[in-house]
Amino acid sequence: MFHTAFDMIAAGRTDVGRTRSRNEDSFHLSLESGLALVCDGMGGHAGGDVASRTAVDAIADFITECAPGEPPMSEGAEGCDERTLSESVAVEPAVQNAVAVARSAVQLANRRIHALNVERGFAEGRGMGTTVVGLWWVPGTGKLIAFHAGDSRLYRLRDGELRQMTKDHSLYQMWLDGGRRGTAPHKNIIVRALGTGEHADPDISVHGLMPDDVYLLCSDGLNGMVPDAAIARVLDRDGRQGVEGACARLVDLANQGGGHDNITVVVARFALRA
């Protein structure tokens, strides 16, 4: 089948940036399981770095243990956008299972971080938290599961065109969606994250792979410093030649732009197997 002819070639890099004293970002990359994660912790001394690492570990372990087995108990596949399960009768069972696994993994991570906040005496909505963006190449299929909560992003470069595959869960994005009425809020005010409440649900979407697709997962320390056009140029040039070089170049550009936040990137290219 067509999808068996792909190889996933990927690399990741994280950097503290030029103004922060602590790196609260974390990432995970497993070529064996086709999984990539980026988490951007929040909370400073309350433990943003702990939150991001807890989320990365919980999600990666859960997905590794569950796939490709039976679907776990979950709140279901509702909440996927129209690109996901709108044609559910045509979606492979493995993909439906992966959606449930990814949702349950993120919910587990949220519960673990929230429990840490409760143990430390933080009130609801306080303490540490983290964003998450994930990409999972579903075993045995030509499909990707994308999931996120917060403003860490997934981009795709296909045929030279860069597309943002996730929509930020931020007050600024809500302002944009509402017609830009009133004063624009700060871009870094997050309205959905893991750990700050008892419940959190990711947005999940399913995407078909095409030869030479390049995907980028990043914290806002990249896209907040580097315009999309510059990101596209790096992915189109370096991402097709060497993913390690693309990661290094993106981090360098963010630092050259000011490096006002931690910077984390994962670049994954899907090439036809020779």
Q: pLDDT tens digits, residue range 202-253?
A: 999 999 999 999 999 999 999 999 999 999 999 998 766 689 999 999 999 9
Highest average pLDDT, of 78-87, 116-125, 139-148, comes from: 139-148
pLDDT tens for 60-85 read 999 998 865 444 444 433 333 333 44
Do the beta carbons of residue 226 and residue 254 sit within 8 Å?
Answer: yes
CA angle at 220 for the pair 216 and 225, rounded to the nearest 5°: 95
Confidence of residue 94 (pLDDT cuts 50, 70, 90): confident
Higher per-residue pLDDT: 81 or 38: 38
Q: Which tokens hold the place of 19?
A: 């103004």
* 185 vs 147: which has the higher pLDDT: 147
**Rg for the chain (alpha carbons), in Å?**
18
Look at residue 170 in the predicted model and tell me its pLDDT: 85
Which of the four CATH numbers 3.30.9.10, 3.60.40.10, 3.90.850.10, 3.20.20.100 does domain 24-217 have? 3.60.40.10
Task: Give the torsion sign (CA, 106, 107, 112, 117).
Answer: positive
What pLDDT is recorded for position 71?
A: 43
